[in-house]
Amino acid sequence: MSMNLEKEQAPLPTTEAAPTKSSLLTKILYGCMVVTFLAAIYTIFMYAEVEKTMGAVQKIFYMHVPSAWAAFLAFFVTFVFSILFLIKRKRIFDTYAYVSAEIGVVFTLIVLTTGPIWAKSSWNTWWAWEPRLTTTLILFFLFMAYLMVRQMDGPWDKKARLSAVFGIIGFADVPIVFFAIRWWQSKFHPIVFGDGPSQEGGGISDTMLVALLVSIAAFTFLYAYLLHKGVSFENMKIKVSQYKQKLRESLEN
Amino acid sequence: MLKAALTIAQKDLLSELKTKQVLGTMIIFAGLVILVLSFAFDPANNTTKAVIPGAVWIIIVFSGILGLNRSLVSEQRNDTMHGLLVAPMDASSIFLGKFFANFMMIMIVEIVSIPFLFLLFDFEVTGSILYFILVLFIGSFGFIAIGTFLAALASNSKSSEMLLPLLLFPITSPILIGVTQATKIILTNMEKLPNALAWMQLVAAYDVIFFVLCFLLIEYVLEV
């Protein structure tokens, strides 16, 4: 009994907390994010000219396109880290893949909500079964399913292995869907979403391009910051569960 | 490898022949789908003819899900999965065997239910039956190949019945889009045949890519 108590009261092995090591990177990413976001807000609302036919509604473009870009980037990162995990079997790769997929789903959700708001005013409809929209919706469901695989019961390495496999299969689907669907109803909406607000396709003015590029940079930094933070949170979770396990073992013995 | 796969397929089909559990359920379910469709769309109405090509694939997809769910979960429940894994053969031949068995079953369901659908909805095929069979073949090939793979993946979870449709539908959506478009053209409007052929080529390419991908990745899924 006393031995047990002693064991219980023995201090847990203290490990160097992760943030001290990575705090510089966190600060840099945070700083870059804040600066680019402020610059983006300035360029969007002050610098870029107001679009002729759509007016102020078109400003949603600077949020819509960068989040689509960030979502694609996030899913690509998931794909790469899934392959890396299957080859190297290191837990950190799995954590990166998971966090990136989660962020990607959030960005896709932003795309899918800002899109209809914009479409309602420019196309006069909330939704059209147009190639881009369908592809994006399928992408969203794919990575929701990926997160479902994550919710499975069982040891982490099994879950990591299965979700890595699903991540690869799912991402391989994306380019195929994209190209396959291009032929489908392509006459209905000849202008694709990102091609420019001027209904010509690609006709984007210089000031708008600057604003777009700045906001893309801002969203990329946001993504990088979220990824970095998310991974360190996930690592802390893993560490806590390891401590719990240790504690449980020491109580049982 | 092919021999081992055929043995597994034979084992699955023989045990199915004994119980007739899965195949019977699939066929009854297909019949029920036809019944529900007849409530939703009046068979006497002319516009329902446009619905039939989609209905064919609704039947295949829904009854296919039932069979796919069973095919690997039963191995897990009876603890025979370990037996298969320690047997002297590749993981890919397990996939291939399961694929053959599932493919045979869905083919039987199609042979029984689709003539019934046409009969009950009084649908006259104006297009080519031969092309229709080809579309059915390549469509169910891809659907069942990806389905078998994902069933193996989902069978690791306790709630695999819920998980499988969520995984399967987004991934197979290009196949389903392609085959419904091709079926519509082939059954009603043969003048646009080149369009249908383009869709079929697309689905066939998709089948090949994903069959190879599943073949390569099944090892990681079945690993203990």
Query: Is A87 touching B (CB cutoff 8 A)?
Result: no
Q: Answer yes or no: is pLDDT of A7 > 50.
A: no
B49-69: burial string, b at 16+ Cβ within 10 Å, e else: bebbbebbbbbbbebbbbbbb
| B-chain residue closest to A146, CA distance | B167
Identify whether the C-beta of residue A154 lies closer than 8 Å to the C-beta of residue B156. yes
**Which H or E element spans position A147?**
helix A131-150
d(CA B104, CA B125): 25
| A-chain residue closest to B216, CA distance | A165
Contacts of A152 in chain B (CB under 8 A): 156-157, 163
Q: pLDDT tens, A188-237?
A: 444 444 444 444 445 567 778 888 899 999 999 999 999 999 999 999 99
Residue B90 neighbours by CB distance under 10 Å: 16
CB-based contacts of A31-37 (< 8 A; 24+ apart in sequence): A32/A221, A33/A218, A33/A221, A33/A222, A33/A224, A33/A225, A36/A214, A36/A217, A36/A218, A36/A221, A37/A218, A37/A221, A37/A222
> Can you read off the two tokens belonging to residue A20?
């001290």
Q: Answer yes or no: is pLDDT of A179 > 80.
A: no
Q: pLDDT tens, A19-66?
A: 455 678 888 999 999 999 999 999 888 887 777 667 777 788 888 889
Residue A128 neighbours by CB distance under 10 Å: 15
Q: pLDDT tens, B54-89?
A: 889 999 999 999 989 888 888 888 888 888 888 888
* E runs forming strands in A34-160: none
Contacts of B167 in chain A (CB under 8 A): 145, 148-149, 166
Q: pLDDT tens, B87-102?
A: 888 888 999 999 999 9
Q: Answer yes or no: is pLDDT of A96 > 50.
A: yes
Q: Answer yes or no: is pLDDT of A239 > 90.
A: yes
CA dihedral angle for residue A39, residue A43, residue A47, residue A48, rounded to 10 degrees: 170
Contacts of A138 in chain B (CB under 8 A): 170, 173
The confidence score (pLDDT) of residue B77 equals 80
CA dihedral angle for residue B51, residue B148, residue B213, residue A137, rounded to 10 degrees: 40
CB-based contacts of A54-62 (< 8 A; 24+ apart in sequence): A54/A121, A54/A122, A54/A197, A57/A117, A57/A118, A57/A121, A57/A122, A58/A118, A58/A122, A58/A197, A60/A114, A60/A117, A60/A118, A61/A118, A61/A197, A61/A212, A62/A211, A62/A212, A62/A215
The confidence score (pLDDT) of residue A52 equals 66
Identify whether the C-beta of residue B169 lies closer than 8 Å to the C-beta of residue A141. yes
d(CA A156, CA A146): 15
**Contacts for B108 with CB less than 8 Å, ≥ 6 apart:** B23, B27
CB contact under 8 A, A149 and B153: yes
Contacts of B166 in chain A (CB under 8 A): 141, 144-145, 148
The burial of B78, by beta-carbon neighbours within 10 Å (0-12 exposed, 13-18 middle, 19 or more buried), is given as exposed
CB contact under 8 A, A180 and B198: no
The confidence score (pLDDT) of residue B62 equals 92
Query: Is B221 touching A (CB cutoff 8 A)?
Result: yes
If DSSP codes are grouped into helix, strand and coil, which group holds residue B87? coil
Contacts of B152 in chain A (CB under 8 A): none
d(CA A143, CA A166): 9
Of A154, A162, A173, which has the smallest distance from its Cβ to B171's Cβ?
Answer: A173
Give this prediction's pTM.
Answer: 0.85
Question: Which of B148, B159, B167 should we substitute to test contact with A (largest number of A Cβ atoms within 10 Å)?
Answer: B167
CB contact under 8 A, A142 and B171: yes
